[in-house]
Amino acid sequence: MAASSIADVIRIDSYGGPEEMKFEKMELGAPAVRQVRLRQTAIGVNFIDIYKRTGLYASPTPAVLGEEAVGVVEALGEGVTGLKLGDRVVYNGLQGGYASRRNAPAEKMILIPDYVKDEDAAAVFLKGLTVWMLIFEIRRIQPGETILVWAAAGGVGSILAPWANALGARVIGVVSTPEKAELAKAYGCAETILSSEDVPTRVKELTDGRGVPVVYDSVGKSSAEASLKSLQPRGWFVTYGNASGPVDPIAPMRLSQGGSLIMTRPTLFSYTRTREELERGAAALWGAMRSGAVKADVRQRYALKDAGEAHRALEARKTSGATILTP
């Protein structure tokens, strides 16, 4: 049986700002039945970590933050099959990721292909599966159509724009600054709009007055109405994030008035509930990375102990591409 081990972790005792994030040491016992112990090498930073820290997504405290990381299997609990010591794996949706080591369910581990680096897997796995959900599972993107993507230079946007391009879509990206507009174009946006502009008017100008069939909106409260006004009749309003706060309630009649609009508020974990779903999404992502349609773009790196600074930068929208922590 594996011996106990010491892990560095980022823990919160109560909801609040980044100042609640404490860098501590924690003793790990041996992995339980059907668990593995990981020596983590790269940790993804995502908006869901902020939502958990602030209590927007309520979960018990005290708690170790983090939902996504890459690690090397260094111990196996009883009953683990399909994994061996030394395997490189990635996971998401398992709180407790801000740690140098952790025990976690083996069934949630996905093997990383040889052609994907640890850092790249940590940077894209949760975001990449989110994009897979958005463009394949909710509503499959069609070649030749024009889509609108908010935060097109951010973590999800940096994957969504090029993957949609590879499927033959034309991407209009909404960004907050001219600098991010240039970055969004490098990711594959055909046109960009500043969020300070009249977004619906600009969308109509860029689509000969038609609007778009689908909007992917991770901003939330401040962008929802602009998203609805940018849609063509029977268009899809896919609101999947809360960067500016949760979207205010929208009456069904508002969707009717927009032309029989369709609204959904997805979360990835509804689409990866089973092992088969998780493996299907991972296979699509690894395939897109192998073909070059999706590339990791790590633009911010922080030591694990500085995770609070990473949260401050993400909340202030000072980041672009992906952010990772290194244990």
Is 71 domain-assigned? Answer: yes
Q: CB under 8 Å, gap of 24 or more: what pairs does 106-110 form?
A: 106/34, 106/35, 106/36, 106/76, 106/77, 106/80, 106/81, 106/82, 107/34, 107/275, 108/278, 109/36, 109/73, 109/83, 110/278, 110/279, 110/282
74 inside domain: yes
Is 105 buried (19+), middle (13-18) or exposed (0-12) by CB count in 10 A?
middle
Q: Which of 269, 284, 314 is the last residue of a domain?
A: 269
Q: Which residue has the tokens 């706060």?
A: 245
Q: Do residues 110 and 168 both lie within one domain?
A: no
Q: Is residue 306 part of a domain?
A: yes
Distance between CA atoms of 152 and 145, rounded to whole angstroms? 17
For residues 111 and 205, state if they share a domain: no
Q: Does residue 240 share a domain with residue 147?
A: yes
Query: How many domains would you assign to the chain?
Result: 2
Structural domain contains residue 130: yes
Assess whether 249 and 137 both reside in one domain.
Answer: yes
Task: Give pLDDT, residue 319.
Answer: 87
Q: What pLDDT sits at residue 3?
A: 63
Domain holding 44: CATH number?
3.90.180.10
Q: 209 in a domain, yes or no?
A: yes
Domain termination site, one of 253, 269, 285 = 269
State whether 137 and 233 are in the same domain: yes
Count the neighbouring beta carbons within 10 Å of the beta carbon of residue 290: 12
Q: Are residues 107 and 139 in the same domain?
A: no
Mind listing the pLDDT tens digit for each residue in 120-155?
Answer: 999 999 999 999 999 999 999 999 999 999 999 988
pLDDT in tens, 163-180: 999 999 999 999 999 999
Q: What's the length of the chain?
A: 327
Q: Which domain holds residue 40?
A: 5-117+296-326
My answer on whether 60 and 193 are in the same domain is: no
Identify whether residues 254 and 301 lie together within a single domain: no
Same domain as 129, residue 91 = no
* Domain identity same for 207 and 240: yes
pLDDT of residue 272: 95
* In a domain? residue 290: no
Averaged over successive runs of 10 residues, the pLDDT of the chain (327 residues) comes to: 81 97 95 97 94 92 96 97 97 95 97 97 95 97 97 93 97 96 95 98 98 97 97 98 90 97 96 96 98 93 98 90 93
Q: Quick check: is 312 in a domain?
A: yes
CATH assignment of the domain containing 224: 3.40.50.720
Same-domain pairing of 159 and 67:
no
Nearest to 210 by CA among 190, 225, 192, 229: 229
Say which DSSP state 209 is in: T
Has residue 276 been placed in a domain? no
Same-domain status, 113 and 135 = no
